[in-house]
Structure 1
Amino acid sequence: MVAYKSKMVERITLPSRDQRERALEAAGYNVFNLDAEAVFVDLLTDSGTGAMSDAQWAALIRGDEAYAGSRSFDRLESAVADVMGFDHVVPAHQGRGAENVLYGTVLSAGDVALNNTHFDTTRAHVANQDADPVDCPVPEAHDPDADAPFKGNLSLERARSVVDEVGAERVPLVIQTITNNSAAGQPVSVANTRRVREFADEIDATFVIDACRFAENAYFVTQREAEFASATVAEVAREQLGYADAVVMSGKKDGLANVGGFVATDDESLFEQCKQRAILYEGFPTYGGMAGRDVAALAVGLREAVEESYLEDRIASVRDLGSRLAEVGIPVYTPTSGHAVYLDAGAAFPHVPANEFPGQALVCELYREGGVRGVELGSFAFPETDRPELVRLAVPRRTYHREHFDHVVETAAAVLEDRRDVAGFEIVSNPSMPELRHFTARLEPCPT
């Protein structure tokens, strides 16, 4: 059942194939460098790219722009307490700003941070503190065809082996990302979160949940974890987040906003430390780098994110896109996640070796063929990590309709039909920080 109707539209056009070819070459075969107007269906990210509701637009207009003590912050603080269960909030301009505030507070040089799977900016923020980010995915996370309900879980066996190797004193931080974006957006069970909480207590570590997609994760829990079959999404969200010492949040995902983020905690000492660091990097603690209007819109979005009708519509649309892509022969990571369809580029282009980035080849072909922009999340984005060669088609919230997805499916099918002609890539320009190279690196096609 469709849960929305459109109140405003934006005209989009598909550039000609010749224009797309020239744009791709000018971008150094890195779609982050493409102009948005050169893209027809933009599935690069679901972060801040969705359509806000009429209630959010109303809040935007009524936002309080006071530098200190604004009403907008009061509304955000109330929403975080009601939806997520934390009393103390430190706002930031977006998720990576919140990561800087929290991980810059908790981590020191030589530390080790454990995560079910670090995403790009999380890995970079840990590395920026001269600490070591270590992934602890469950084995089935790396199997695109494995039929398991919670492939995003954190492996306690792997985590304990790391602690045995380096010593508990070097592991002050355990992070659980829900849903697990780097593991194809797979959900995390509440049972796993409980066990991670116990493990963090055993080694005296701070337990942080990266809550960017906490509502989507809670929806999957209601569908797949028997204990919560009769629970509401809101109830699951409160319980799961309640096991953490703190959460780090990008409001551009399950905050349904175009900008914003925060750290939330009930730990008074951690709150005070984060607040002081936020003043240095983000702004005063009641606006945190956001305009008051954006703070107000985020407060409304957090409440809308746990509404059952919204989540049913959201996740059904992503699942439908994944099913339709699989029907035309595209190798799709299963089960489908809540925010994106992940394509198995290694299976789609078996003739392209991993060191020539088959995922980036698929990303470029999707754009070349139909102006569709996705993102590589394999060996190009995550060098020196053991991950499948995935391409993520992230679906902006409440933005695209079935006709757009028709075009995506037709484009992918055409790419697959001509796949033997596809070549890999080599990097010709690299940024200094390898954890972030996929944002700005430039590539060239490999000689054929």
Structure 2
Amino acid sequence: MRVRSGRTVHDLRRENRTAVLQRLYFDGPQSRFSLGPATGLSSGSVSNVVAELVAEGLVEEAGSVDSAGGRPRTLLRIRADSGYMVGVDVGETRVRIELFDLALTELARIERPLVTEGPRRVDRYDVGIVLDHLREGIPGVLAQAGIPAERLLGVGIGVPGIVARDADGAVVHGQTIGWSAVPLERLLRESAIVPANVPYSIDNGAKTLGQAEMWFGAGRGAQSAAVVLFGSGVGACVVADEVGPGRAIEWGHLTVRVRGRRCRCGAQGCLEAYAGAEALLERWREAGGQPPADADEETSLTAMIAAAYPGEGGPEPDATALAVLEETAEYLGAGFSDLINLFQPERILVGGWAGLQLGPAFLDAVRGHALSYALAYPAAHVRIELGALGPDAVTVGAAILPLTGFFARGGRREAARPQEPAPAWQATLRERAAQ
């Protein structure tokens, strides 16, 4: 049966379920009475939806509150153990895999470093290595927590690069890491890591960071924000809706210096060639600095910060490290001013392992440069601050991706996909590409 808008009764029921689930999730325990105004649904619709969700084990009672002159009202909340999500951060120094319940409580974690230095040096961006970490890590966190894979609502994965989609699912174009049209979702499906009806949600790591900060971190309450992921390279996500999905932008590849330093993307003068942790350490080394031998990027950056900002009672600041960091603060500030002028966000939030390390030491300098380079009106209406979720923000955001799909389906699991044979031309083209 269809209603006049073209939506079916099934569509309306799903939308009503989605509205109730989202309000319970974001606003905490509520009564049936308060869910009416919060969702815009009639009391009868709320009662029907709640009865369904309770019967399915998605919603449970959570005590009661007094009403104005009547019987106490029963509070409702989403059951934390009614579903689970895996969040994965395919970062530039490590792969982090975490298992969460529906309340986003971390239940298990596995980390695998991507080795870049010393006698075990390997290509840290080798697709096979990353896939091996996922094949071992996803079942590993499930085993640690004793959760069957069938209870997963989905696996969310944040990756460096642009994520496109074709008939096989998510395809990653990571120019800076040498990933050219990597069919990551198809490769994962072929590995049969999780049941066929458990969805993979793959997106840019800056976007998953932005999603997490807007839902649960420093972005809460803002209608718009630019969330910066500052790691080996730099990226950003622009969000125009507190709850809706953001949009990943290749902010690190804005040109900040014509015919400047060669970026790892192949172009010259990109912001990432000056402000990413990898480039920052290279510039320190070129200026005469001495990063620790055979150390990874995170350890080397820690040493650089300690040299530049030794603190009270410590040795004199390392002039070379300090000069490189001060120059980097100006480059970042100029990059922030571009975000301010282009998108006029209420907030700019800084995350990522390098951003969290550097932030306390030089965020004030970055803020000063950003406001001096930006147009006066949008600069006067923006707050620039650190993200609130720490180094796990990308995995939390990745876990949110399947949760968003679960809510959009009204709290119903994705149906198993029929296994249909692929057209013959697809197999032929793949064989040619492998030659």
TM-score, normalised via structure 2 length: 0.27
Task: Determine which structure has more spread, i.e. the larger CA radius of gyration.
Answer: 2
Select the structure with the greater relative contact order (CA < 8 A; seq sep ≥ 6): 1
More strand, by proportion = 2
TM-score, normalised via structure 1 length: 0.27
